[in-house]
Amino acid sequence: MPESLTLEQFIKGIPKAELHLHIEGTFEPELMFQIATRNSIPIKYSSVDELRNAYNFNNLQEFLNIYYEGAGVLTTEQDFYDMTWAYFTKVHAENVLHAEIFFDPQTHTARGISFATVINGIHRACEDAKTEYGITTKLIMCFLRHMDEESAFDTLESAIPFKSLIHGIGLDSAEVGNPPSKFKRVYDKAHHLGFITVAHAGEEGPAEYVWDALNNLRIARLDHGNRALEDEILVKEIAQRQIALTVCPLSNLKLCVVDDLVKHPLKKMLDANILATVNSDDPAYFGGYINENYLQTAKALKLTKEDIYRLARNSFQGSFLHDGEKERYLSAVDAFWNAHK
């Protein structure tokens, strides 16, 4: 007889991938204070508790303000390594086998930190995660959409010497007023250089931004995409093309994209045959790593174990792993399902 697991145990145990994770968004207050002290950088909060209390946002912009302030204490390769390694330690315990990680070089190069310092620290932690935990990774470099096209072009140029370490190009930060088409020429060059492309769209911005990302940026995967559901033709297009959506439920709740998890569109996405996945986005700020996102969303939307199984499979199907690697991970998900359904 298969062993019977509670929904929580099932979520904890099932193998999964994380496809929407900003490494700067994993920066826990304890580590932030530790690194700030190590680098003799003052921060305006007197304690870890005071900093945690500041993590109450009304919208995306309020979150971004504190996010960029926290990133300001990162100055050395070791800082970026320590932050990234802390993430891997957490998600290894949550049975994440593969992670596709966003990083924001402009957040750091604008402060005078070299591109090499940023990526070498992050990459070294990725290498150690593979050796120590067996976690595979891909790095996705994001452009900050509130900055101009010239800055994005400069960042893309800086990435070229490190192309072997960077799998894809993304677009994040304040969405409203910064449509994907603002970066069409940059993405055209990224495609020419051989990068896979993704973009945040339809989080706070309208469904038109999703069309814009599909048509002008030629994205292979859509980050967030909640508001795509407002356009029936767009829903059919996404489902037909099997474009994965990297959905972040607790982020959506914390940033007031939804005012209650029971209203979250994840189940509607699954019902529309969209390749939706569950991710944590900026877990240090949004109150939960990947398992907490699965668990709270499952409770709110009354998801079944079969729904969780489908979401876990989607996480590998929607990844940028090679087919052979996908099959290996999907076999592990199937084996868990067969043992515990």
What are the pLDDT digits (tens) for 117-168?
999 999 999 999 999 999 999 999 999 999 999 999 999 999 999 999 999 9
pLDDT at 65: 82
Average of per-residue pLDDT across 104-120: 97
Contact at 8 Å (CB) between 13 and 312? no
Q: Is the pLDDT of residue 300 over 90?
A: yes
Q: Is the pLDDT of residue 85 over 60?
A: yes
What are the pLDDT digits (tens) for 239-281?
999 999 999 999 999 998 999 999 999 999 999 999 999 999 9
pLDDT at 277: 99
Q: Is the pLDDT of residue 36 over 70?
A: yes
Can you give the C-alpha Rg of the chain in angstroms? 19
Residue listed under structure tokens 């792993």: 321
Q: What is the CATH number of domain 7-340?
A: 3.20.20.140
DSSP classification of residue 54: T
Q: How far is CA 203 from CA 10, 103, 142, 199, 208, in A?
A: 29, 19, 16, 11, 12
* Token pair of 242 as six digits: 């099997």
E strand segments, the chain: 16-22, 96-103, 136-144, 168-172, 196-201, 221-224, 244-247, 276-278
What are the pLDDT digits (tens) for 87-106?
999 999 999 999 999 999 99
**Domain segments of the chain as ranges:** 7-340
What are the pLDDT digits (tens) for 156-207?
999 999 999 999 999 999 999 999 999 999 999 999 999 999 999 999 999 9
Q: Is the pLDDT of residue 51 over 90?
A: no
Residue 203 a catalytic site member: yes
**Widest CA span in the chain:** 61
Average of per-residue pLDDT across 105-123: 97
**Which run of H or E residues covers position 126?**
helix 115-133
Closest-CA residue to 254 (of 278, 224, 288): 288
pLDDT-based confidence at residue 61 (cuts at 50, 70, 90): confident
pTM across the whole model: 0.96
Q: Is the pLDDT of residue 3 over 70?
A: no
Catalytic residue, from 18, 175, 203, 204: name it.
203
Q: Is the pLDDT of residue 2 over 60?
A: no
pLDDT at 68: 84
DSSP classification of residue 281: B
The proportion of the chain whose per-residue pLDDT surpasses 90, expressed as a percent, equals 89
pLDDT at 166: 98
Contact at 8 Å (CB) between 278 and 290? yes
Residue-averaged pLDDT of the chain: 96
In this structure, what are the phi and psi dihedrals at residue 310, rounded to the nearest 5 degrees?
A: -65, -45
Closest-CA residue to 125 (of 23, 225, 229): 23
Amino acid letter, residue 96: V
Q: Is the pLDDT of residue 288 over 60?
A: yes
In this structure, what are the phi and psi dihedrals at residue 152, rounded to the nearest 5 degrees?
A: -65, -45
- Measured distance CA(200)–CA(180) in Å, rounded: 9
